[in-house]
Amino acid sequence: MLHASEKFSDLDALYSPDAKVATSMYEDADLFSEEMERIFKRTWVWVAHDSELADKGSFKLSNVGLEPVIVVRDRKGEVNVLVNRCRHRAATVCEVKKGKTSSFQCPYHGWGYGLDGSLRGLPYPEQYGADFDKGAHGLKTLRTESYNGMIFATFNDEIEPLVDFLGPEVCRYIDLFMKQGGGFPVKVLGEHQFSVPMNWKVQLENTTDAYHFPVVHKSFMQSLDGDAEEAFKFLDTGKGYVEDLGNGHSVMVMIPERIDLDEHLDDPIEERFQPLVKELRDDGYPEDQVLKIVRAVGGAGFNLNLFPNVSFSLAFFRVLTPVNVEKTDIRHIALGMEGGPAAANRMRLRLHEHFQGPMGFGSPDDAEVWERVQRGTKGGEDLPILVNRGLVDETPGTLGPRGHISAETGMRAAYKMWKRMMSR
Amino acid sequence: MNMISNVNDLGLLQKVSAFLWAEAALLDDKDYDAWLALWLTEGFYTLPIGEGEDFDNQLNLCHDNDRMRRDRIQRFKQGFSISSAPPALTVRTVSRFVIDSAEGDTVTVSSAEHVIEDKFGRQRVWAANMKHTLVVSEQGFKIRAKVVRLLNSDGVLNSFSYLF
């Protein structure tokens, strides 16, 4: 039997220089194990947004690849990411999805840990001898850094700082994305979670795939009013683009006028936002703030896709968690304005429910086609999967190639990074 | 607990049960126009996430007013939504009826719902607590509110091509 790393030594056979993906990329369990080690254990993985950890002691459960972690704000206000596994006999120390606590105690033998993961106490410690080192038995902690509220963790102590991994263009787009706070801090309002029988890379591809939108989301488009429907016809207008931002990241600009939400504030307001305009005016918000809030409620005009697990998608975060080679969990995190008008946040919630999640008008159709990809790979093992669309007219962008709005430039950016990480 | 105390109450439970069973049959049959006709225009059809009660100000799986209900049914029926063309088949049972209150023309009833769906040769099972607010009208009961709390509403679900 070949050792896994030998089996996958020819990376060109898995992702070819002319942008074709081998079928085994979606269905080989050994390759999946390699990816978890070489990618998810070695790079920055998104785990939480700042607003989910509002206070000292606030925590939530998350994942870094296959590893369950606790993300918690300690007494000093620092965010720690801890592997959810007691150092004694491996039991999870927390099974509450989110909440507030002063410590984590293992339910099996009572080992107690502080919010920074340090081992605080254990029953009858004398049986370990006088030289037992509590300092060496804390919960395993991950290196943790954040940018503009987005918290990432990594098992790799050697990796570059988060801001260097993101790079200047990604940071610029993150800052632009956060303008949808409309002058208020961006806050997580809730999340939809659903599992799809597909390889994680099928999802990774999708957030940078504008080509599917008018086909898969026709029924969503039909539920929109005229001018809202116009806004989603970005393939017809052809003004958008996809750009490789380096390190596997990419941006897909669908509505260029909505890259910077502080600009074009004089543009006409869509019909569907008129009731909100009236409500904000009636609540006494000054006119310039009304325009800014209403514009922000509509979200940004782009999807920013970070390798390997998070996407800033128009108005929400899309997070993928690989479960096994043919199963991936998806979270659609709804965002709103901390301290902003309740009416604006209500509209954000209803817009999120309209498209996203298990009962949205969009996500179920996405989930269906992703599953169909996974089912389709059972046939024609020798046939490649094409991500070469739009190679014909790519031009140089700031950090990488820029292609047509329907180009698969973002997928190629991700697979380029995939190859880089799998080759070392 | 609101126990059955006389013959009239028993009659109410029977009528309510018959209504909810009929509704369940419409949903399994995907007879959505008939289902829409069961509603009062001002009613909300809500699948909350978690324990919250403030549906307007929280994220739900769905929180449909009349317009959204009609758009949802339109989406199911038009044939452009790949997840609902064809949809999963469902068989459901509704039981454990408890009349929570009956005042004037309004009855609230709690029940349990089990749904088994079938698609791609795979069956999935869903369980939910339901609460209906029903109003007596000349055409029988009308739904003013229906809240369906999936047992794992705040967990990892799958996408749904049908209604609960």
Residue B13, domain CATH: 3.10.450.50
The answer to the question of residue A30 being in a domain is no
Residue B3 is predicted with a pLDDT of: 55
Q: How far apart are alpha carbons A217 and A232 in whole angstroms? A: 10
A389 and A252 share one domain: yes
Per-residue pLDDT for A344 more than 90? Answer: yes
The answer to the question of residue A25 being in a domain is no
A134 and A197 share one domain: no
- A371 vs B contacts (CB less than 8 Å): 120
Total number of domains constituting chain A: 2
Q: Within its chain, how far is the Cα of A329 from the centroid?
A: 11
Q: How far apart are alpha carbons A258 and A237 in whole angstroms? A: 14
The answer to the question of residue A40 being in a domain is no
CB distance from B159 to chain A under 8 Å? yes
Measure the N-to-C terminal CA separation of chain A; round to a whole number of Å: 22
Average pLDDT of the residues in A350-374: 96
A254 and A372 share one domain: yes
- A224 vs B contacts (CB less than 8 Å): none
Domain containing B68: what range? 7-150
A241 and A337 share one domain: yes
Residue A90 is predicted with a pLDDT of: 98
User: What distances in angstroms separate CA A30 from CA A13, A103, A204, A329, one per listed residue?
Assistant: 16, 38, 19, 19
Query: Which helix (H) or strand (E) element contains residue A424?
Result: none
Q: Within its chain, how far is the Cα of B30 from the centroid?
A: 13
Residue A51 is predicted with a pLDDT of: 98
- pLDDT tens-digit map of A150-205: 999 999 999 999 999 999 999 999 999 999 999 999 999 999 999 999 999 999 99
Q: Judge: A193–B58 Cβ closer than 8 Å, yes or no.
A: no
Q: Judge: B82–A194 Cβ closer than 8 Å, yes or no.
A: no
Per-residue pLDDT for B1 more than 90? Answer: no
Residue A2 is predicted with a pLDDT of: 55
A214 and A319 share one domain: yes
Mutate to test the interface with A, among B45, B81, B120 (most CBs of A within 10 A): B81
Q: Judge: B159–A368 Cβ closer than 8 Å, yes or no.
A: yes
pLDDT band at B8 (very low <50, low <70, confident <90, very high): low
Mean pLDDT value across chain A: 95
Rg from Cα positions in chain B: 16
- From A147, A177, A200, give the residue that closes a domain: A147
Taking only residues 97 to 126 of chain B, the set having a beta carbon closer than 8 angstroms to any beta carbon of chain A reads: 120
A177 and A243 share one domain: yes
User: What distances in angstroms separate CA A378 from CA A33, A150, A196, A368, one per listed residue?
Assistant: 20, 37, 16, 16
CB distance from B61 to chain A under 8 Å? yes
Domain containing A100: what range? 45-147
The answer to the question of residue A26 being in a domain is no
The answer to the question of residue A118 being in a domain is yes
* Distance of residue B107 Cα from the nearest chain A Cα, in angstroms: 27
- From A114, A147, A180, give the residue that closes a domain: A147
pLDDT band at B33 (very low <50, low <70, confident <90, very high): very high
Half-sphere exposure of B157 (CA within 13 A, CB side): 27
The answer to the question of residue A17 being in a domain is no
Q: Judge: A329–B156 Cβ closer than 8 Å, yes or no.
A: yes
Residue A140 is predicted with a pLDDT of: 98
A258 and A403 share one domain: yes
Residue B10 is predicted with a pLDDT of: 74
Using alpha carbons only, what angle is made at residue A204 by residues A198 and A205, rounded to the nearest 5 degrees? 95
Cβ atoms of A313 and A306 closer than 8 Å: no
Which residues have C-beta within 8 Å of that of residue B152, sequence separation ≥ 6? none
pLDDT band at A116 (very low <50, low <70, confident <90, very high): very high
Average pLDDT of the residues in B83-97: 96
- pLDDT tens-digit map of A266-300: 999 989 999 999 999 999 999 999 999 999 999 99
Total number of domains constituting chain B: 1
A220 and A92 share one domain: no
* Distance of residue B138 Cα from the nearest chain A Cα, in angstroms: 33
A360 and A287 share one domain: yes
A117 and A174 share one domain: no
**For helices A274-282 and A342-355, what crossing angle results, to 10°?**
160
Query: Which helix (H) or strand (E) element contains residue B54?
Result: none
CB distance from B56 to chain A under 8 Å? yes
Among the ranges given (A85-89, A232-236, A373-377, A393-397), the one the predictor scored with the smallest mean pLDDT: A232-236
* Distance of residue A224 Cα from the nearest chain B Cα, in angstroms: 9
Q: What does chain B come to in residues?
A: 164
Q: Phi/psi at A308 (nearest 5 deg)? A: -110, -5
Query: Which helix (H) or strand (E) element contains residue B75?
Result: helix B66-78
Residue A239 is predicted with a pLDDT of: 87
In chain B, what percentage of residues exceed pLDDT 90? 91
CB distance from A378 to chain B under 8 Å? no
Nearest in space to A338 (alpha carbons), one of A183, A185, A179, A177: A185
Average pLDDT of the residues in A7-29: 94
The answer to the question of residue A269 being in a domain is yes
The answer to the question of residue A303 being in a domain is yes
CB distance from A364 to chain B under 8 Å? yes
CB distance from A398 to chain B under 8 Å? no
Residue A4 is predicted with a pLDDT of: 59
Average pLDDT of the residues in A224-249: 85
Cβ atoms of A83 and A140 closer than 8 Å: yes
B55 token code pair: 């549906």
A402 token code pair: 């820029």
Q: Locate tokens 């669908």: which residue?
A: A254
Which residues have C-beta within 8 Å of that of residue A342, sequence separation ≥ 6? B57
In chain A, what percentage of residues exceed pLDDT 70? 98
Residue B66 is predicted with a pLDDT of: 98
Per-residue pLDDT for A44 more than 70? Answer: yes
CB distance from A218 to chain B under 8 Å? yes
In chain A, what percentage of residues exceed pLDDT 90? 91
Residue A5 is predicted with a pLDDT of: 63
- B83 vs A contacts (CB less than 8 Å): 364-365, 367-368
- B74 vs A contacts (CB less than 8 Å): 222-223
Output DSSP code: residue B9: H
* Distance of residue A366 Cα from the nearest chain B Cα, in angstroms: 8
Tally of CB atoms within 10 A around A345: 23
Per-residue pLDDT for A232 more than 80? Answer: no
Residue B7 is predicted with a pLDDT of: 57
- The CATH number that applies at residue A233 is 3.90.380.10
- A347 vs B contacts (CB less than 8 Å): none
CB distance from B152 to chain A under 8 Å? no
pLDDT band at A3 (very low <50, low <70, confident <90, very high): low
Query: Which chain B residue is nearest to residue A217, measuring alpha carbons?
Result: B81
Average pLDDT of the residues in A91-111: 98
- pLDDT tens-digit map of B105-137: 999 999 999 999 999 999 999 999 999 999 999
CB distance from B49 to chain A under 8 Å? yes
E strands, chain B, are 39-48, 60-64, 89-103, 106-119, 122-137, 140-150
Which residues have C-beta within 8 Å of that of residue A366, sequence separation ≥ 6? A206, A216
Residue A238 is predicted with a pLDDT of: 75
ipTM: 0.94
- B123 vs A contacts (CB less than 8 Å): none
Nearest in space to A246 (alpha carbons), one of A168, A331, A347: A168
Measure the N-to-C terminal CA separation of chain B; round to a whole number of Å: 26
Per-residue pLDDT for B31 more than 70? Answer: yes
- A190 vs B contacts (CB less than 8 Å): 49, 58-59
DSSP letters, A107-173, are: TTT--EE-TTS-EEE-SSGGGG-TT--GGGSSPPEEEEEEETTEEEEES-TTSPPHHHHHHHHHHHH
A124 and A269 share one domain: no
CB distance from A66 to chain B under 8 Å? no
The answer to the question of residue B162 being in a domain is no
Give the torsion sign (CA, A193, A198, A200, A206). Answer: negative
DSSP letters, A253-316, are: ES-GGGSSTTS-TTSPPPGGGHHHHHHHHHTT--HHHHHHHHHHHT--SEEEEETTTEEEETTE
Q: Judge: B63–A365 Cβ closer than 8 Å, yes or no.
A: no
Q: Judge: A193–B56 Cβ closer than 8 Å, yes or no.
A: no
The answer to the question of residue B131 being in a domain is yes
The widest CA-to-CA distance across chain B, in whole angstroms, is 51
Q: How far apart are alpha carbons B148 and B113 in whole angstroms? A: 9
Q: How far apart are alpha carbons A308 and A294 in whole angstroms? A: 32
Q: Judge: B84–A364 Cβ closer than 8 Å, yes or no.
A: yes
A143 and A53 share one domain: yes
Determine the 3-state secondary structure of A66 from DSSP: coil
CB distance from A352 to chain B under 8 Å? yes
